[in-house]
């Protein structure tokens, strides 16, 4: 059996790769593994289960709930809520396990199952591996030990989660949003009710788009992967800024009053300065990834803030933050983690904090984001090459060294092997986009000849 768990739970085409049987089996396996690990010791276990609005989430939620209850776990169904809300409620309610059904920014036919441990934290890798092994062991014939009578889990709706999560968001804001006009694009996703309510309660004047989920339209031409509608709406309504989420609202991108994109690096830069000013930027450090724009790194150097860079993926950002006690980290894609207030990327919280900074300073978002200049970044995918030799080819190493000398301090080269495909990604940043294109093209040619 191949790995079921990826970097963010188990994903696939709903009712294709990700069936009701798989969702049920994984849930039972998770209950057994956590019981073996002592998580349930001394008390009756409970789980929080939520989902995004995808049509397939309805049957997958039923399967997960059935699996958990059949394994003796009491389930609180919180309904359609963002991934970070499910993580928060798992911790706030003292649950032993959280489960979110979502495929985040993926297209509607996909779905996913993501587990949270007690406290709302991502399951450790070894527990995920154990769940896979136990699932496979029982899938191939060994029967489950099943409770009967009063031992079966009970299932209840927990409708209070909506207000509880919003109260948490508003409670951690440094200031209110009175006088700020914000356009919110909810991607017809999990934050379609939560985000507008939170911004309104915080005092913002809001205009909402992409907030009419019908189970089929999630991420369809809207949200953080399609900013065009938001950019037009911000200009049309004369708003101070726009906020875009993805389907499960664990990420946030923004748009300034002129309709220009403000990406995750720029948001991190704005929040880093705000948190330092408030004495909340522990160790004077922010965590990014190797794909963070060079302009972000140069801005942090200029501002006297340390930047730690990890491998690509918010899980690696989070691992670094937890290991070293850092307070802020994130990715260019808009996954921003404020560890004092969330255990995972929280797009609604990020948007609120960004708007709060605009309100507190009286400055425009464009002015605040201007702390960094986003350098042109060219990415070229070179397919059908031996990616295993990307770090050992002398010819390629020489070409990279030549490119780095040409670019100097205001440019950067990064070669990465794809984790899932036989290709190498060539990324070049430079102050001049034509230079970046030229260098990337030359390096792509060398990758083809050296690794083809």
CATH number for the region 10-159 comes to 3.40.120.10
**What is the C-alpha separation between 451 and 436, in angstroms, rounded?**
22
Q: Which residue has the tokens 């060539």?
A: 426
Is 445 known to sit in a ligand binding site?
no
What pLDDT does 170 receive?
A: 97
Is 104 known to sit in a ligand binding site?
yes
Is 246 known to sit in a ligand binding site?
yes
Among 179, 180, 349, 182, smallest CA distance to 250 is for 349
Is 125 known to sit in a ligand binding site?
no
Superfamily assignment of 377-451 in CATH? Alpha-D-phosphohexomutase, C-terminal domain (3.30.310.50)
Q: What length does the chain have?
A: 452
Measured from the Cβ of residue 419, the count of other Cβ atoms closer than 10 Å reads: 11
What pLDDT does 55 receive?
A: 98
The reply to whether 163-369 and 377-451 are identical in fold is no
397's enclosing H/E stretch is: helix 394-407
Active site residues: 104
Residue boundaries of the structural domains of the chain = 10-159, 163-369, 377-451
What is the tens place of the pLDDT at every residue in 26-50? 999 999 999 999 999 899 999 999 9
Among 328, 348, 339, 254, smallest CA distance to 288 is for 328
What is the tens place of the pLDDT at every residue in 62-106? 999 999 999 999 999 999 999 999 999 999 999 999 999 999 999
Which fold is adopted by the domain 163-369?
Alpha-D-Glucose-1,6-Bisphosphate; Chain A, domain 3 (3.40.120)
pLDDT < 70 regions, the chain: 1-2, 419-420
What pLDDT does 277 receive?
A: 97
What pLDDT does 2 receive?
A: 55
């Amino acid at each position: 059996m191949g790995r079921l768990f990826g970097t963010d739970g188990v994903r696939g085409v709903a009712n294709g790769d990700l069936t009701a049987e798989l969702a049920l089996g994984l849930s039972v396996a998770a209950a057994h593994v956590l019981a073996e690990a002592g998580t349930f010791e001394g008390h009756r276990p409970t789980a929080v289960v939520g989902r995004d609005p995808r049509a397939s989430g309805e049957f997958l939620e039923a399967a997960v709930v059935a699996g958990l209850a059949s394994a003796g776990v009491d389930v609180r169904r919180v309904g359609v809520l963002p991934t970070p809300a499910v993580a928060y409620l798992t911790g706030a309610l003292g649950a032993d396990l959280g489960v979110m059904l979502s495929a985040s920014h993926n297209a509607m036919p996909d779905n996913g199952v993501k587990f949270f441990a007690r406290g709302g934290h991502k399951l450790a890798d070894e527990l995920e591996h154990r769940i896979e092994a136990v699932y496979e062991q029982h899938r191939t014939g060994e029967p489950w030990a099943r409770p009967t009578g009063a031992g079966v889990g009970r299932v209840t709706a927990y409708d209070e989660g909506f207000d509880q999560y919003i109260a948490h968001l508003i409670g951690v804001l440094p200031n209110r949003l009175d006088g700020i006009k914000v356009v919110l694009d909810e991607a017809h996703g999990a934050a379609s009710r939560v985000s507008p309510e939170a911004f309104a309660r915080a005092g913002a004047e809001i205009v909402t788009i992409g907030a009419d989920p019908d189970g089929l339209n999630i991420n369809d031409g809207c949200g953080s992967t399609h900013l065009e509608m938001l950019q037009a709406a911000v200009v049309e309504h004369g708003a101070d800024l726009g906020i875009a989420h993805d389907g499960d609202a664990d990420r946030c991108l923004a748009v300034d009053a002129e309709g220009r994109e403000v990406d995750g690096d720029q948001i991190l830069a704005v929040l880093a300065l705000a948190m330092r000013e408030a004495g909340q930027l522990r160790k004077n450090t922010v965590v990014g990834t190797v794909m963070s724009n060079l302009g972000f790194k140069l801005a942090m150097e200029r501002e006297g803030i340390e930047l730690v860079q990890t491998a690509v993926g918010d899980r690696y950002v989070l691992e670094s933050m937890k290991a070293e006690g850092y307070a802020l980290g994130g990715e260019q894609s808009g996954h921003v983690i404020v560890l004092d207030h969330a255990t995972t990327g929280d797009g609604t919280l990020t948007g609120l904090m960004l708007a709060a900074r605009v309100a507190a300073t009286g400055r425009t978002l464009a002015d605040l984001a201007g702390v960094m200049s986003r350098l042109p970044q060219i990415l070229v995918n070179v397919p059908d090459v031996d990616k295993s030799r990307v770090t050992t080819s002398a010819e390629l190493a020489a070409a990279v060294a030549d490119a780095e000398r040409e670019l100097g301090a205001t440019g950067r080269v990064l070669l990465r092997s794809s984790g899932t495909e036989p290709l190498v990604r060539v990324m070049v940043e430079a102050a001049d986009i034509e230079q970046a294109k030229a260098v990337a093209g030359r390096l792509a040619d060398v990758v083809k000849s050296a690794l083809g």
